Amino acid sequence: MVKQKISTCLWFDGNGEEAAKFYVTVFRNSKITSTMPGPDGNPILVSFILDGSEFHALNGGPHFPFNESVSMFVTCETQEEIDYFWNKLTADGGEESMCGWLKDKYGLSWQIAPSIIGELFGSPDREKADRAMQAMMKMRKLDIATLKAAFNGK
């Protein structure tokens, strides 16, 4: 069991167990840790770990759908990793958005970003950082080579 003081609880409309099972197939070092049945015998709460972080899927009903004000941020070291998460999370009804954002088939928003993004956008050379930012603003899935080229003025 993860000894994590703060964890994320995601509110679903009856498909929390399905979503948890999907997420643990996408992220390495992941598993479902417990399932709590509700009054009808169906799971009301599913606890799971995604790559070391604890989450809970609550089947709370249709009252509070996901929106873009909360997203999961996935830091990727390589373009292959970005491509992997992008393709897995947009599959079967997910939606691409702009600037590395997407929604999965459950409506949860994700940001799939390269680890170098802070270095590029936080550069003290604001002209380089602005070029990288402008390149990103035109992208759906982020492309590391294109961001670096824009940063370097190529």
Q: b/e string for 86-103 if b means 16 or more Cβ within 10 A?
A: bebbbeeebeebeebbbb
Q: What is the pLDDT of residues 46-79, one digit of tens each?
A: 999 999 999 999 999 999 999 999 999 999 999 9
| pTM score, whole prediction | 0.93
When pLDDT is averaged across residues 72-87 and rounded to a whole number, the result is 98
Does residue 140 contact residue 113 with C-beta atoms inside 8 Å?
no
Residue 106 pLDDT > 60: yes
* Cα–Cα distance measured from residue 34 to residue 47, given in angstroms and rounded to the nearest whole number: 5
Q: CB neighbours (10 Å) of residue 106?
A: 20
Helix or strand (DSSP H, E) at 72 = strand 71-76
**54 contact partners, CB below 8 Å, separation of at least 6:** 2, 4, 7, 8, 33, 47, 48
**pLDDT value at 33 more than 70:** yes
Question: What is the pLDDT at residue 133?
Answer: 97
Average pLDDT of the residues in 88-106: 98
pLDDT at 4: 83
Q: Give residue 27's identity as a one-letter amino acid code.
A: F
Quote the CA–CA distance of 35 and 18 in Å, as a whole number.
12
- Whether 2 shows a pLDDT value over 80: the answer reads no
Q: Mean of the pLDDT values across residues 30-42?
A: 94
Q: Are the C-beta atoms of 116 and 151 separated by less than 8 Å? A: no
pLDDT of residue 3: 72
Q: What is the pLDDT of residue 1?
A: 52
Q: What are phi and psi of 60, to 5 degrees?
A: -100, -5
Identify which of 146, 99, 147, 151 has the alpha carbon closest to the alpha carbon of residue 125. 151
Mean pLDDT of 27-41: 95
**Average pLDDT for 17-30:** 98
Q: Which domains does the chain have, with CATH numbers?
A: 7-62 (3.10.180.10), 66-154 (3.10.180.10)
Axis-axis angle for helices 16-26, 79-90 (nearest 10): 160
Q: Confidence band (pLDDT; 50, 70, 90) for 45?
A: very high
